Amino acid sequence: MAHSHLVIQHLLKQIEGQSQVRKDKRPKWLIAAADRFADAFDPLGEVGRVGYECEWTDWGWELRMYLGMTEVVGGKYDGDWQGASFELDVARLVAVFDEPPAIAWSVSASKPESSRSFLTITGTSHNEPLRLKVYSLPPRESSPVLTRRPDGSIEPKE
């Protein structure tokens, strides 16, 4: 399946940019799983950049993934932030788990302009507890990760 996104480059850059202490806390299997999960995103009609957060919780590792926002620069919609539409290959996600995981879909639709849904997959990977959450939108506090110019070109934000 052809992908029009910057998954591998973004994940590598994100991993390299983090402090040595934080990098050492994440096991290699988790970083490899994040890369495989990112490959399940297929942006519709444009480029997308996968973002993620992970942390150790009382339950085990939790990995939260999403496609980042794009900022429009120039033209009629200058300054607007736009989310990316995408398809998600859930079978690819499930394949990273050791055994068939539990799967749940949650939808928050209290306000149509801010509705957000996420898929939760809970199980084990490499015999370690793992909870994956894939969000329809990035976290509200995140900044755009891509820039769209008036000519239609899209570039990563630095």
Examine residue 47 and state whether it is found in any structural domain, yes or no.
yes
pLDDT tens string 28-51: 999 999 999 999 999 886 777 888
Examine residue 11 and state whether it is found in any structural domain, yes or no.
yes
Examine residue 158 and state whether it is found in any structural domain, yes or no.
no
Q: Which pLDDT score is estimated for 78?
A: 76
pLDDT tens string 98-149: 999 999 999 887 765 556 789 999 999 999 999 999 998 888 777 777 777 8
pLDDT at 4 over 50: no
Examine residue 25 and state whether it is found in any structural domain, yes or no.
yes
Examine residue 89 and state whether it is found in any structural domain, yes or no.
yes
Is there a contact between 40 and 90 (Cβ–Cβ < 8 Å)?
yes
Lowest mean pLDDT among 2-11, 18-27, 55-64: 2-11
Examine residue 14 and state whether it is found in any structural domain, yes or no.
yes
- b (16+ CB within 10 A) / e for 121-138: bbbebeeeebbbbbbbbb
What domain range is 85 assigned to?
7-152
Cα(90)–Cα(105) distance, integer angstroms: 12
Examine residue 1 and state whether it is found in any structural domain, yes or no.
no
Query: How deeply is 99 buried, as exposed, middle or buried, from its count of CB atoms within 10 A (0-12, 13-18, 19+)?
Result: exposed
Examine residue 157 and state whether it is found in any structural domain, yes or no.
no
Q: Which pLDDT score is estimated for 93?
A: 96
| Predicted TM-score (pTM) of this structure | 0.75
Q: How many domains does the chain have?
A: 1
